[in-house]
Each structure stands twice: as structure tokens, then as C-alpha cells.
A and B are shown apart, each in its own frame.
Chain A
């Protein structure tokens, strides 16, 4: 512990509280706005306390709103985004754990070449290769499909590198013990490597889910139909009208709803990886 004196504790807490206020206030303010009528929002200043429209606004956004975002309900948007974020997170983990497994535990020709190829893609973010990727998607007829949303984002050098680093910390003796115990490559992967990677997988899942959830440019390009929009894109479309026409109260509700799933993932997975951390320490 650095500081034990009351003054230091006070200062530390003051700094923390200030930080939290700065981060949390915009979210709180969004929440406040989501409980006001459109008129209140358009007539500054916005009150600092929640209004009485909570139920009206949220039910309108969730169940009402035909004609708002091209006739798409918030439920549909949340579903699209969830499918995409889950697909990206699961796909990335699946692909990268397999490639790391091959690179670390198998000896095959051009092994290091493949490793460097994967490494080099780190330098090519989605944005750089977006035009060729778009062309491929068009040619394959994958515009406006979940596959088109997910597959181009799946390749992940970062996750592969992380798994590689972790696999390299697994003692050679353990690998050999498994060989002597009659575990072939698949058994070793499923019985030993996968359980040992649990914490890493949980942590990566959280990060990658949020990465998928907040994607903007790619979903914007690859979806034309409003049915296939993700919630981030829909939010953008909602405010792109002239200011007076914008349904600000519904925008605020949608923004609030867009935050909920990532928060749920963090909270739920946090329990997981805290348990994982406690359990797998050697």
C-alpha cells in the first residue's frame, strides 16, 4: 500500500470519484435524456434528473416505431448486432487458437513463414483492405448477410499471437507427459490445452465481443438493407436527418439499449475469469 494516512486516502478517493464522474456523466446524461419528451430535449437546458417518459420512450423504441429507422425495430437491430459480435468473437477465437496450436506444437515445412504471414496481417487493419474485401463480398453475393458481416473480420493476428505466447509458457514436460499418457494431438488439444486456456479465452471473448459490437465502417459498407443494420449504424442513420426531425428521445433510448449487451458480457464474463484466475494459478 502506498498511502495509509487519512489525507492520502481522501485524495486518492477524490481522484477516483472525479474520474468516474467524468466517464459516467455522459452516460448518465444520455439516460436522463432518454426519459424526457422530445420537446424537453429540444429546449435547453436539459434537466439533470430523469423525467417521467421512461416507460413511454422505451416501449415506443422497442415495440412501436414503424417508420423510424426504415421500419426496423430495436429488437431486430440488437439481434443483428449480437449475431455479428458473437460471430466475430467466437470465430476469431476458434481460428486463432487453432493456428496458434499448429504453430507452437507442430513441426511442418514453412512453419515460420506462416507465422510471419499471420504477423504481417497485424499491419493491415480492416480499413486498409476494405475495398478489395468489399469487392470479394459483392462477387460472392454476401452483401446483406450475416456471413458478410462476420467472416472478413474473423482473421486475427492479435489473438493468434496471444495464444501463441500462452502456449509457449506450457512446460514441455506437460506435453511429454500427455504423449506418454497416450494423448494424441486432438486429445491433447481438448483435454489439456483448451481447459488450460479457459481464462485467456474468457478475456479474449470479452474484448472481441466489444470489438465486434462497436464495428462501424464494415457494417456500414456491407449492409444496404435496413433489416441487416447493426445498432451502431442505425443510430447513425437516426440522427442523419435535419435536426428538427430527429427523434432525439428515441435516439437516446437506442443508445442506452446499445450499451446494455456489452455491459452484460463484461459483468457475466468477469465472474468467469476471476474464477479462472483463481483456479489456474499454479
Chain B
């Protein structure tokens, strides 16, 4: 129904804080774009500029090819789901959902049929006569969703809509939002700082840091080829293990082991591998074409289907994942290996070294 295009968007707040420092993102029609990044990186600011709730300091925001910088939130035809839901406390669920439609002069009969059919989709039919405070957190969240969906807008905007729910409900709602968005086919922008939510929801993932975009791509592409050490350590739980190649303590040992492994061009300063890409091996022999590390187990974290071993190796703390149960206990010495194609190399500035480096 609509594309959203951000072109070199910047935001400088009145106090001089530069919250967004030039962001360009092109969101295709019907896609769910997730903005993810640490607290304070400017995600909400960016979202609110798309919504029209915040002025744009420079750059352009276009919805459906039309630049909307000077258009108010009402006329942009967007709907927003807020972190604290922002339901009208004095209105019944029905009126909460109908309010936006009524303000746009929708005929009464149509308001009624749209509210009721949306309520049915969200399983809110029995709650239409309640007020927000008579609902559970999850139900309020649904009403907030309903209020957005019922208007059938061009774009959905979500600002951390699940952060007030408990973990289990969050998981359920995540799946629901995803399938609903698919079904309705409405272009959406979703802000979160939870990387799991980001990975599972996104068609298109935008990793932000300090007001800038670090990387844009499909979630698994980003996972497999993080463009920087920041992305590598932000996406994935537990994060990628990063071994510094230049610190005194690790240099000798590591560099010896890395003889057979050539970083793909450029001077590597960091080497990374995912916890699940490491294997435990019994032999003490170094294999060629693979990273071999001796590690000491410091903590064991069993979570059921898998176990995380926190170890120290070559002066770095690393985490490796082993399936199921393990006999390892703190103090054990392990041999760890990771094959060459599973290794990620980064330069001194933290950028990925890769012959086929993904666009960023």
C-alpha cells in the first residue's frame, strides 16, 4: 500500500542534542522494517519523525513517494502503537477504537462494522464495553493494536509495543503481530531494543547506533555478516565472541595460531566467531585452516536445550554454546576450534573485512 523513504534525515533537538545524524532508509511496500539499537540511539526520534510528531531538522521523509515533511500526523495517514498504549482512559474499548474513524467523518454504520470486525480479529469482541483500566496488560496491548488496525492506514508505526508485557506474552504477541502484518500487508516500522524481537519480526532490519545506521539488511544476512563489531555484538544472544588481535597478552599466542588463516585483505584488529560456531575438540594438535584455542571454563549456564560455557581464552572472555547437557565444570581446560569460514574479521575501526562485504 505504501513505501516509506527516508533521505538523509537529521534531528537536532532544541537543546542542541543531535539525536539522528543523517539516516537514509528505503522501506518497500508491505515490508516490516525493524529499527533496533541500544537505548538513546535515536530510534524513537526517527519513528516520531516518520509519524509527524517531531519536526525534521533536515532531510526528507516520503510516504508513498510524496514528501511529507510539512504534513501533520493526521494527514500522513499513519497509525501508531505506543509503548504505554496511550489508550483514552475514559473511553470504552469500542470508543477507543472508533475515535480515529469518527474524527475522519466515517459514517456511523461503517465505523461500527469496522470496529466489530477488527475486534473479532484481535479477539476483543467480548471486551468492547470495558474501559482500559478493566483490562489486563495484554488486552490493552491488543486494543492499542486494534486502534491502529481499524483505521486501515498506509503505515503502521510501533514504538516498543511489547516492552510492558511479560516474556511469555511478549513471545505470543510477537507472533501475532507478525502474522497480522503479513495478512494486512501494511508497511510497518517497528522500534525495539530487543534483538530477539528484531530478528524474528523483521523483513528488513536496521541496526542503529548513536544516531547513525550501522547496517541494513535481512535479519539472517546481518547475523551472518555483521558489518561492524557493534552489530556483531548487538545482534545475537549471547553476542559474538570478539578476540582482540592487538592486545599484548593475546597477540603472540593468537597470531601463531592464525598463521594458516589469512584475513581477507586489510589489517585485521579483531577476530570474531559466534558461540554456536565453536566446537569442542579432544585433540591437542592444531588443525590447519581453523582457529584453535585453549580455554578455561569459568561458568556453566545450562538453559535446557543448550548450555553456554563462559570461558577465558587468550586473554579474552568468550562464550561457547554446546547442545544439551555437558559434563564441563568451572576450572576445566578445553580445546576449542572454529573453521575459517565461520570467522569474522574486523579492522581497527571495527568495520568488517570481507571481499564480499554486505552493503551498509
Give A residues with C-beta under 8 Å from B. Answer: 171, 173-174, 176-183, 187, 191-192, 195-196, 198, 279-282
Contacts and interface: CB of A to CB of B under 8 A. Distances in A.
B325 to A, nearest CB: 46
Interface of B: 51, 53, 72-74, 78-80, 82-84, 86-90, 99-100, 103-104, 131-133, 147
Contact of B84 (A173, A196, A198): A173
Contact of B74 (A173, A182, A195, A198): A182
B122 to A, nearest CB: 17
Given A183-B99, A187-B103, A280 B89 contact: yes
A176 B84 contact: no
Contacts, number: 61
Most-contacted residue by chain B among A177, A183, A191, A192 (CB, 10 A)? A177
Contacts of A282: 89, 132-133
Given A281-B133, A282-B133, A171 B103 contact: no
Contacts of A178: 88
Instruction: Please provide the 7 A-B residue pairs with the shortest distance between their CB atoms, ordered closest to farther.
Output: A181-B100, A182-B103, A173-B86, A177-B86, A182-B74, A195-B90, A173-B82
A85 to B, nearest CB: 28
B73 A180 contact: yes
A108 to B, nearest CB: 16
Given A176-B53, A196-B90, A280-B89, A182 B82 contact: no
A279 B53 CA distance: 30
A281 B133 CA distance: 8
Contacts of B83: 173
Contacts of A180: 51, 53, 73-74, 78-80, 100
Contacts of A174: 86, 88
A176 B90 contact: no
A170 to B, nearest CB: 10
Contact of A181 (B53, B72, B89, B99): B99
Contacts of A195: 90
7 contacts: A176-B73, A177-B87, A181-B147, A183-B103, A192-B90, A280-B89, A282-B132
A183 to B, nearest CB: 6
Given A177-B88, A281-B133, 9 more contacts: A171-B84, A176-B51, A177-B87, A180-B74, A180-B78, A187-B103, A191-B99, A198-B90, A279-B90
B110 to A, nearest CB: 15
Most-contacted residue by chain B among A176, A183, A282 (CB, 10 A)? A176
B106 to A, nearest CB: 10
A45 B333 CA distance: 104
Given A182-B104, A183-B103, A281-B133, A177 B82 contact: yes
Contacts of A182: 74, 100, 103-104
Contacts of B79: 180
Given A173-B84, A187-B103, A179 B53 contact: yes
Nearest to A187: B103
A171 B74 contact: no
Please classify the interface of chain A as helix (H, G, I), strand (E, B), loop, or mixed, using the class held by over half of its residues: helix
Contacts of B103: 181-183, 187
A279 B103 CA distance: 25
Nearest to A181: B100
A100 to B, nearest CB: 18
Contacts of B90: 192, 195-196, 198, 279-280
A183 B87 CA distance: 14
B154 to A, nearest CB: 13
Contacts of B78: 180
Nearest to B53: A176
A280 B131 CA distance: 10
Nearest to B51: A180
A109 to B, nearest CB: 15
A14 to B, nearest CB: 40
Nearest to B103: A182
B80 A196 contact: no
B100 A192 contact: no
Nearest to B88: A192
A78 B20 CA distance: 65
Contacts of A279: 90, 131
A202 to B, nearest CB: 14
Contacts of A177: 80, 82, 86-88, 147
Nearest to B84: A173
A181 B78 CA distance: 9
A176 B89 contact: no
A160 to B, nearest CB: 23
B239 to A, nearest CB: 32
B73 A179 contact: yes
A171 B132 CA distance: 15
A280 B90 CA distance: 7
Contacts of B72: 179
A282 B133 CA distance: 6
A47 B73 CA distance: 74
B201 to A, nearest CB: 21
B161 to A, nearest CB: 12
Contacts of A191: 88, 99
